[in-house]
Amino acid sequence: MEIVKLKDLYFKKYISEKEIAQAVKKMAYQIKQDLPKDEVPIFIGILNGCFMFVGDFIREYNGDCEVSFVKLASYEGTETTSKVKKLIGVNEDLTNRTIVILEDVIDTGNTLQEIYEIFKHQPIKALKIATLFFKPDVYKKELHIDYIGKNIEDKFIVGYGLDYDEYGRNLASIYQLTPAPKMKNIVLFGPPGAGKGTQAEVLKEKYDLMHISTGDVFRFNIKNETELGKLAKTYIDRGDLVPDEVTIDMLKAEVEKHTEAKGFIFDGFPRTISQAEALDKFLAEKGERINGMVALEVPQDLLVQRLLERGKTSGRSDDQDESKIRNRFEEYETKTAPLKDYYEKQNNYYGVDGVGSIDEITERLSEVFDKL
């Protein structure tokens, strides 16, 4: 998932899970190194945003330690306000202890200053400040920060415990605020013969979208005997999928041909998880995303009938032979069907009953398109 929508705003992937894990590990190691050998520090997390960070940090900290939390809220929406609203303090006896404050992100430093004021009057031994993310461009305080996981740009971030109005805390990566996408991009999904092509022709007019059918592009290239066509033909004739690299490059080239498009209906693409990932990434580079996968659900027996019927007039070699059709279903079940999970995980899968008249099905699809 490269661009996510949380309530009314959009966020694009900014720092991966892996990068976060590396930064956390490095901080835990460094802090352990810097403390006296037998020191048992008290790590104090600043709730709510720090909960994931503290959890991961503690697992990486290789030594005895205590953990506690304080809560101060200084955010309202995406705007940092200078007023701190709530405080839940620590109850432990801090006398002669080494305190390490763990913050998820420090920007202006207002929250941090408040916390610091609380601790500096206590009879503690030492006070250190560690933050996973730091915005050097907006930090206004004199207070020294001892450990920084990663410097970041001054843009609102969510994920890995951080929220936008309580949304997005459960995202495993960090996402950064990004302008709203301009396009409506829909993956029209379903097994061979589900009626994707037929419906796409109607829906592209209705919603003023470009229709890209990878199958059609391949067939066009085969007919014109291009290099791509020659390469794809052997796969298509057998009912196998064309290799991902070939298909992904071709798809990108098709999208690039239509820079003015208001959006795309992708028909027959993606068909594998790696195609779906490539598509997400490619669109995110343009500040765009897949609004939804809309799937036509049709029982397999009906599909075979439909395909054999189509084979009588379509001239498609892969529609005329039942064993090739069966092979296409097998390819679908093993490589393509798992995409349902991929989009479901993004909360972006919409199943539609694909049995009925063309008009009825268009109606059902339109109900979903209108929402996306």
Choice between 273 and 372, CB closer to ligand AMP: 273
From the CB of residue 262, how many other CB atoms can be counted at a distance below 10 Å? Answer: 13
Choice between 184 and 271, CB closer to ligand AMP: 271
Q: Applying CB under 6 A, does 291 fall inside the site for ligand AMP?
A: no
Residue type, 372: L
Q: Is the peptide bond before 270 cis (omega within 30 degrees of 0)?
A: yes
Instruction: For residue 360, give Cα distances in angstroms to 191, 199, 316, 352, 354.
Output: 19, 11, 27, 11, 9
Q: Which of 306, 316, 335, 364 is catalytic?
A: 316
Residues 316-335 that bind ligand AMP (CB under 6 A): 318, 328
Q: How far is the CB of 363 from ligand AMP (least distance, A)?
A: 23
Q: Applying CB under 6 A, does 289 fall inside the site for ligand AMP?
A: no
Q: How far is the CB of 328 from ligand AMP (least distance, A)?
A: 5
Scanning the structure block, which residue is given the tokens 């027959």?
Answer: 268
Q: What angle do CA 70, 18, 74 make, to 5 degrees?
A: 25
Phi and psi dihedrals of 306, rounded to 5?
Answer: -60, -45
Q: Applying CB under 6 A, does 241 fall inside the site for ligand AMP?
A: yes
The enclosing H or E element of 210 equals: strand 210-213
- Is residue 59 annotated as part of the catalytic site, yes or no? no
Q: How far is the CB of 225 from ligand AMP (least distance, A)?
A: 17
- Is residue 271 annotated as part of the catalytic site, yes or no? yes
150 token code pair: 């990663």
Pairing of strands 42-47, 98-106: parallel
Q: How far is the CB of 249 from ligand AMP (least distance, A)?
A: 11
Choice between 108 and 198, CB closer to ligand AMP: 198
d(CA 69, CA 160): 17
Q: How far is the CB of 212 from ligand AMP (least distance, A)?
A: 10
Residues whose CB falls within 8 Å of the CB of residue 35, separated by 6 or more in sequence, listed in order: 41, 63, 98
**Number of residues located near ligand AMP, criterion CB under 6 A:** 17
Q: Which of 310, 335, 340, 364 is catalytic?
A: 310
Angle between helix 227-238 and helix 244-256 axes, rounded to 10 deg: 130
Options 161, 239, 292, 354; binder of ligand AMP; rule CB under 6 A = 239
Options 159, 168, 263, 268; binder of ligand AMP; rule CB under 6 A = 268
Q: Which of 128, 135, 324, 328 is catalytic?
A: 328
Choice between 161 and 239, CB closer to ligand AMP: 239
- Is residue 252 annotated as part of the catalytic site, yes or no? no
Helix (H, G, I), strand (E, B) or coil at 131: strand
Residue type, 126: A
Under DSSP, the state recorded for 164 is: B
Options 221, 275, 291, 348; binder of ligand AMP; rule CB under 6 A = 275
Q: How far is the CB of 89 from ligand AMP (least distance, A)?
A: 57
Residues whose CB falls within 8 Å of the CB of residue 200, separated by 6 or more in sequence, listed in order: 188, 211, 213, 265, 267
The upper half-sphere exposure of residue 288, i.e. CA atoms within 13 Å in the direction of its Cβ, equals 17
Residues 167-196 that bind ligand AMP (CB under 6 A): 192
Choice between 13 and 219, CB closer to ligand AMP: 219
Options 247, 291, 348, 362; binder of ligand AMP; rule CB under 6 A = 247
Q: Which of 128, 271, 289, 324 is catalytic?
A: 271
Q: Judged by CB under 6 A, which stretch of 22-30, 42-50, 75-83, 239-247 contacts ligand AMP?
A: 239-247
DSSP-assigned beta bridge partners for residue 15: 174
Instruction: For residue 314, give Cα distances in angstroms to 204, 216, 249, 250, 361.
Output: 21, 12, 27, 23, 22
- Is residue 316 annotated as part of the catalytic site, yes or no? yes
- Is residue 328 annotated as part of the catalytic site, yes or no? yes
Options 215, 263, 311, 354; binder of ligand AMP; rule CB under 6 A = 215
d(CA 350, CA 337): 14
Options 214, 221, 291, 362; binder of ligand AMP; rule CB under 6 A = 214
Q: List residues binding ligand AMP (CB under 6 A).
A: 192, 214-215, 218, 235-236, 239-242, 247, 268-269, 271, 275, 318, 328
Active-site residues, by number, are 196, 271, 310, 316, 328
